[in-house]
Structure formats: C-alpha cells, structure tokens
Amino acid sequence: MQIYCLVKRVLDYQSKFVTDGKKVYSESGKFIINPFDEIAVEEAIRKKEQGICSRVTVVSVGSDEQAIRYAMSMGADDGVLLKCSEELTSIQTSQVLVNYFKGVDFSVIFAGKQAIDTDSSQVAARVAAGLGCSFAAYASKIDFNGDEIVVEKEVDDGIEVVSLRKPCVITVDLRLNTPRFPPLPAVLKAKQKPLEVIEITPIIDDSIELVNLEIPAKQRQRKLTQSVEEFVNELKRIL
C-alpha cells in the first residue's frame, strides 16, 4: 500500500511580514513546509516503518519543490509537483489535486488540517468530496486494521472515534505526533530522490475577489494589578 501526503510551502511564521495590499511577503524571504503537513508526512513515514505501507509519496501544488524535498529528507520516497506559477484559491488547488488523483490508484491520502498561511482548512475536504471517498478530519490517532482505518479526534466532549474504508482522505492535528528533524545526510540524499513535475493549467475561479490585504496592528495592552481584588474589579470593568 502507498500513502500519499499533501504538502504546501508557506512563509516562515517566525519571520516579519509585509504586504503590498495584494500579497504577503516575508522580510527574510524564508519558506518552510506547512507544519501540519509535516505532521502528516511524519505519520505516513511511521506507518511505513511499521510495515503498514510500502511507499510514501508527497504531492504539492505550486511553483517550488522545497516542501517536497524537505518531506523527502524526513523519509518520503518520492514526490510529485503539480507546477503552476499562479497563486491558487482553495477551490483551484483542490480541483488540481482531484484531477491528479483521478488518474492514480490510491488508498490513503494524509494532509495537515490546514495551512498556516490561509487557515481555510478546505483543500483536503474538497479533494475527498471531488473523489467521492471517505473523509476524516483533525486526527489525533490513526490505526490501520486491514481495510478499515480507525481515526480518533479530539472534540469538545472528549474523543470521537471514526471508522473509515479505503480509499480515504485524513487530515491530522498537532497531537498526532512530533515530526523528526532530518539530519544533514538525509537532506543531501533527498536531492537525489525522484521528483515528477507536471505542468498544470488551473480552472478559472472568479468566485473570490481579493480587495486588500493588511498586516494587523499589534494592540496588546497590559496592566499589572496589586491584588486579586483589584484584578477581579478590572476584569469586571473590561467585560
């Protein structure tokens, strides 16, 4: 069995951001793999190490292979870059992925629960809907039992357990695992791993119009109180 992982390159969250009103930039120009996708890749690699799957393939939509190469340095076997120079919406990205996976014999697709740049949490769900397969979100534990996959996820009342049949798409949450840090030899080896680049033409999506982007101003206000009574009174005043 082969596990596919969806990955995205995002701006480093530790950088300082600027915007021209249409796009957000990092002053350092540094990009990283989306942290939630990194957790998905780690889980897929662990399943391979446990003998549950034989291969881990990462798939990314965009113009750069950085996120794919990083996933390879973690232990993924190969990658697919659906190359496009345009900034795509969630609808466009999911449609590109649906078109790709319709031509692939897949069983399981892992993805992060959301990308930290847009926070839309749409792509994986749209992919599952487009492919007509099972879907589970925010997994904090994933167990394979033959053709059945049992997913645990945290909800307000405790733990919800969902049983899926293959093929399926699963998004992962922070508590699932702690991703490994690739050593230098693995980073160098990743540069030699196979990467398929497919030029794509996205569908036209005019459902969303970007009017303006602004970096929110920091407005944190702090006040030190001298006693619990003063703290309670100040809290009542604010509320």
97-117 per-position pLDDT tens digit = 999 999 999 999 999 999 888
In a domain, 219, yes or no: no
- Is 116 contained in some domain? yes
Q: Is residue 221 part of a domain?
A: no
Return the HEC string of 67-79: HHHHHHHHCCCEE
Minimum mean pLDDT among 35-44, 45-54, 97-106, 195-204: which range? 195-204
Spatial distance between the Cα atoms of 58 and 5, rounded to a whole number of angstroms: 5
Give the CATH number of the domain where residue 56 resides.
3.40.50.620
The answer to the question of residue 238 being in a domain is no
Q: What is the mean pLDDT of residues 127-139?
A: 94
User: Per residue in 138-185, pLDDT tens?
Assistant: 999 999 988 899 999 988 888 999 999 999 999 999 989 999 999 999
Residue 222 lies in a domain: no
Percent residues over pLDDT 70 in the chain:
95
Q: How far is CA 22 from CA 63, 165, 186, 211, in A?
A: 18, 42, 37, 8
Whether residue 236 lies inside any domain: the answer is no
Residue 218: the pLDDT is 67
- Cis peptide, bond prior to residue 179, ω within 30 of zero: no
Domain encompassing residue 170: 2-211
pTM: 0.83
Residue 217 lies in a domain: no
Structural domains in the chain (count) = 1
Residue 22 pLDDT greater than 90, yes or no:
no
The CA-atom distances, in angstroms, between 218 and each of 12, 50, 117, 230 are 19, 46, 18, 26
